[in-house]
Structure 1
Amino acid sequence: MTPPLWTGSEAAVAMHAAVTGRLPAAITGISIDTRTLEPGDLFFAIQGDARDGHDFVETAFQRGAAGAVVSGSRAEHFVGAGTLFAVDDVLDAMRALGLAARASTAAAIVAVTGSVGKTGTKEALRLVLERQGRTHASLASYNNHWGVPLTLARMPRESAFGVFEVGMNHAGEIAPLTRMVRPHVAIITTVEPVHIEHFRSVSGIADAKGEIFAGLEPGGTAVINRDNPHFERLKAHAGASRAGRIVTFGEHEAADIRAERIVPKPDVTVVEARAFGEAFTYRLGMPGRHIALNSLSVLAAVHALGADLALAALSLADLKPPAGRGERTVLDRGDGPIVLVDETYNANPASMRAMLETVGGLELGFRGRRIAVLGDMLELGPEGPALHAGLVEPLLAHGVDLVFAAGPLMRELWNALPPERRGAYAETSADLADEVSAAVRPGDVVAVKGSRGIKMERVVERLKGRFSAPADASAGE
């Protein structure tokens, strides 16, 4: 029988909560959203940007919550509804519970940050480590001031491994999160001009990412991209931390784990690598040069943890893209198939270029075309217009035949495109969706990408709604 995540008394002590009602014998999960709450969960009434969790306390109890963590100033409104854990600040209480979870586990912990590739690297680590022991990892991109403590609070104390994604929009955000996580291994995938509007330079972004090393356990391992132009700056941050070792990855000849050859294929990527002088070859279950390079950081972390490197490399053959991050679906137009590449989770200049490179290597059907449906990349500051116009070069280099663009910033790209490459332009993704669905034809590969704020998933939903998916709907399985 699986032990409970917490007992009611353990949770109350950790959060310094005043309890009203009967303490639950078992808390089996942690929830901040009643839509996904399971019976036995402890519900935290978090005050969000758009909603106040206190408005859903009664719903939480109706759905079987073991208890609710509420602000002491509002607890009297819920007396009689169920067991209440009254605290001064609900988010601080969740942080306290997360810290207690971290203190109670002997798991080997990995933390991942970077301008691009955080979630994909985290999911790859989850895949390879769960083959070697019980592994707890962040859901989706739970990497911010509430996502990290939530993930910690959910970590079973019996875990062998923990994998945490840590993100930021501003300087100073990563340091407190990594000090909560206290990783044994900390990875920076890369540094690129993402969220640049909040920084004076990309060097400032490097410094913000370098904060992840501040929380390393004494003697821990810092894993750094040797190819990145900010390597020396990141290395200095690692050197100033409690790291006992720095491990590098990339294609650079001095990298500890180095890709000597990356062979992209339509559905997989073959990597010929060398780890600390020893040659080996492995296969990734999805295409993409950027995926291959990030996989080196996964293997670096596995090595640093003392886990089985050979088994981890074999496990990467089963790697699949997370939702919205390269997922491919075959759709049937009725007169033939099209391949839809869903990259709608987010976008920045580096990830746009990586996606276009991957799409350039995909096989087309008879008379098919490569179509890119692109939405604005946000938080780029004054450089935004030029960075959008600059996508012309990789679009042409990777053989994109037709471009559809949405958003005011993408007008810069639209104006820079050769006329024969222009599909359609619209101010919003919703206005563009019908144009795209009317234009596709059998054999096409259609890639959709943009920042979250532009909601490019509307184009994906329109295509899936108009065209049916055959029984074997996933490409490259």
Structure 2
Amino acid sequence: MKALWQSEEIADAVNGIASASFSVEGVAFDSREIKKNDLFLALKGEQADGHNYIKAAFEKGASGVLTMQPTAYPHVLVEDTHRALEALGQAGRRRNHGKIIGITGSVGKTSVKEALRLALKAIAPDKVHSSLKSYNNHVGVPLSLARMPKDSRFGIFEMGMNHAGELSQLTQWVRPDIALVTSIAPAHAAFFRDEAAIAEAKGEIFEGLQPSGIAIIPYDSPYRDQLMAKAKKQGAEIRSFGFGEGATIRAQDVIQEADGRILVRASLPNREIIFPLSMSGHHWVSNAMAVLAVVDALEADITLASLALGEIKGLAGRGQRFFIPIGEGQATIIDESYNANPASMAATIAVLGNEKKSGQRIALLGDMRELGENSPQYHTALADPLSRANVSHAILVGEEMKALAKALTGKIACDWVPDANEAEAKILNLLKADDVVLIKGSNSLGLSNVVSSLAKRGHACSI
């Protein structure tokens, strides 16, 4: 592989001193994730000090280390490895001359990032770089920038926040040519006055736009005008996506097919396209429109991008499906275990309601965290989506789900359990052939462990 960084480049970027000449092909801060010829970042955190794992990193194949302490291994010595990571990320951004896309939003940013990556990969194989996992904070964003090859044609960066002002810093590092807001919803509501304040904070992404940059806004959002005003203040060209007339990229028709796939007819400024989408649900149609809006803004091949959208299978924690054997049949598990807020809960419950299986529709739902003083109301409000989806049985996990359990009394069969372990036991006792189970909740509950345990029993689903 071609070197990502030379030690001299690293030292120059971070104002450090290189002990020897070396080259690296990747960058990582977790010694367990080190690959051959990686640069290990010895970051010092509240729980662990990366300097204690330098030997382990080199035993796994690291070529060099960014460190605050002299070491016998090839290294670049700096005063502060966190500041050095930020500087290396900014250097990675400066040396790239491709098109950079920044993505934020209350719901859907990782799904859109992954879908956009696959769409652009169909257009420019081996020239698309994107942040891994949900690396979207003050460590993940500069790390993702530092990992970007200098000849990348497209760079896609997710940016997250749970307090006002955080996106301002991240977007200045990314300096996107195109900035997309996927949605506004009461995620991290405990830290904001109201949803308008969340919209204001999400709009900070436009502050880092390059001159002549493009802002892409959710047309159907009640905060559309607020986001537009924020983008106009930065001199951005404004485009939009959604379902309503007036959206730059608009889903005009959505046709559900018997095999679970859907056909979408979308209108663009100068044409219409029809394409299949493997992922079901209103929210995935919206995600697809957001992706096409970015591709259109890039003046890239819309046809190739739309065909790539038709090939997307479920993402782990965000719609991935698998079967597990039950007697002579099988049950379907829908893995939506990566985090939850009121909007994403309602969207995925609606997907469960559209399932055509003959068995039970079971919802295993965990607490939605960081919703502040209105948390009980947000949880209770899920009773209506569950009823509309004709859910047969709800298994509710965590203290905050007690409010929903009370609201479901006499309406839907319901079990409340305190933790993920008991939830798994309930599911296994309840499951029958042809049942469909939706699993969703905040990360801290560990429902992904339930998914992993169940997945060991089964096999992947094609849609």
Q: TM-score, normalised by structure 2?
A: 0.97
1:277 shift after superposition: 5.0
**SS state at 2:310 partner:** helix
Which shifted more, 288-297 or 266-275? 266-275
Q: Which deviates the most, 151-160 or 311-320?
A: 311-320
- Tell me if the contact between 1:269 and 1:292 (Cα under 8 Å) persists in the aligned partners: no
Distance 1:410 1:52 in 2: 36
In 1, distance between residues paired with 2:350 and 2:460?
Answer: 20
Aligned partner of 1:66 in structure 2 is: 63
Q: 2:43 aligns to what?
A: 46
Out of 372, 378, 385, the position equivalent to 2:369 is 378
Q: For 1:127-142, what aligned pairs fall within 5 Å after superposition?
A: 127-133=118-124, 134-142=127-135
Instruction: State how 1:316-395 maps to structure 2 within 5 Å.
Output: 316-365=309-358, 368-395=359-386
Distance in 2 (alpha carbons) for counterparts of 1:355 and 1:271: 19
Which of 239, 250, 254 is matched with 2:246 structurally?
254
Note the C-alpha offset of 1:34.
1.2
Secondary structure (helix, strand or coil) at the match of 1:254 reads coil
1:12/1:301 CA distance change after superposition, 3 Å: same
Task: Work out the CA distance in 1 between the residues paired with 2:118 and 2:102.
Answer: 15
Kept in 2: contact 1:264–1:289 (CA 8 A)? no
The superposition leaves residues 64-83 of structure 1 with CA deviations (integer Å, 9 ceiling, x where unpaired) of 21111112xxx14xx32x01
Task: Tell me the distance in 2 between the aligned counterparts of 1:476 and 1:6.
Answer: 39
116-125 vs 32-41, which moves further? 32-41
> Aligned ranges for residues 70-81 of structure 1 at < 5 Å?
70-71=67-68, 75-76=69-70, 79-80=71-72
Aligned residues: 460
Contact 1:407 1:428 in 2 (8 A): yes
| Matched residue, 2:78 | 87
Cα distance in 1 for partners of 2:174, 2:235 equals 14
Q: Is the 8 A contact 1:94 1:149 kept in 2?
A: yes
SS of match in other structure, 2:24: coil
Q: What does residue 462 of structure 2 align with?
A: 476
Answer yes or no: is the 8 Å Cα contact 1:433–1:458 preserved in 2: no
Q: Does 1:3 align with 2:2?
A: yes
The amino acid that maps onto 1:58 is K
8 Å CA contact 2:263–2:276 kept in 1: the answer is yes
The 5 Å alignment of 1:292-331 reads 292-331=285-324
- Return the letter of the residue paired with 2:14: M
Letter in 2 for 1:28: E
SS of the aligned residue for 2:461 comes to: coil
Aligned-partner Cα distance in 1 for 2:136–2:413: 37
Q: In structure 2, what is the equivalent of residue 143 of structure 1?
A: 136
Deviations 1:98-134 (A, max 9, x none): 1111111111111110000000000011001011111
Q: Is the 1:269–1:288 contact (alpha carbons within 8 Å) kept by the matching residues of 2?
A: no
Root-mean-square deviation (CA, aligned residues, Å) is 1.3
**Residue 102 in structure 1 maps to residue 93 in structure 2:** yes
SS of 1:131's partner is helix
DSSP-derived class of the 1:246 partner: strand
User: In structure 2, what is the Cα distance between the partners aligned to 1:357 and 1:476?
Assistant: 20
CA distance in 2, matches of 1:303, 1:432: 44
Mapped partners of 1:200, 1:421: distance in 2 = 33
Instruction: Please give the alpha-carbon distance, in whole angstroms, between the structure 1 residues aligned to 2:439 and 2:283.
Output: 18
Asked whether the 8 Å contact 1:224–1:248 carries over to 2, the reply is yes
Question: C-alpha distance in 2, partners of 1:232/1:173?
Answer: 22
1:420 and 1:397 map into 2 onto residues whose CA distance is 12
Decide whether the 8 Å contact of 1:110 with 1:186 is kept in 2: yes
Deviation at 1:155, TM superposition (A): 0.3
Q: CA deviation at 1:464?
A: 3.4
Give the whole-Å Cα distance in 2 for the aligned partners of 1:283 and 1:49: 47
- Residue matched to 1:28: 25
* TM-fit CA distance, 1:142: 0.5
Shift of 1:254: 1.0
Amino acid at match of 1:401: S
Partner of 1:18: 17
Choose from 425, 433, 446 the match for 1:434. 425
Secondary structure of 2:276's partner?
strand
Residues of 2 paired with 1:306 and 1:130: CA distance?
15
Aligned 1:111-190 pairs, distance under 5 A: 111-133=102-124, 134-190=127-183
Q: CA deviation at 1:4?
A: 0.6
Identity over aligned pairs, percent: 40
TM-superposition CA deviations, 1:27-69 (whole Å, max 9, x none)? 1110111111012111001123422212211111222211111
In the TM superposition, what whole-angstrom CA distance separates every residue of 1:424-455 from its partner, at most 9, and x where no partner exists?
21111112210111111111001110001111
* Structure 1 counterpart SS, 2:462: coil
Shifted more, 450-459 versus 388-397: the winner is 450-459
User: Cα offset for 1:311?
Assistant: 1.5
**Residue type of the partner of 1:53?**
G
Question: 223, 228, 232: which one pairs with 1:239?
Answer: 232
Q: Deviation digits for residues 140-177 of structure 1, max 9, x if unmatched?
A: 11100000000000000111111110100100011111
| 8 Å CA contact retained: 1:434, 1:462 | no
TM-fit CA distance, 1:294: 1.6
Among 187, 194, 201, which residue is 1:208 paired with?
201
**Cα distance in 1, alignment partners of residues 25 and 56 from structure 2:** 18
Distance 1:438 1:373, change over 3 A: same
Shift of 1:420: 5.6
Once the two structures are superposed, residues 264-307 of structure 1 have per-residue CA deviations (whole angstroms, 9 ceiling, x without a partner) of: 44532221111115222111121121011121111111111111
Other structure's SS at 1:65 match: coil
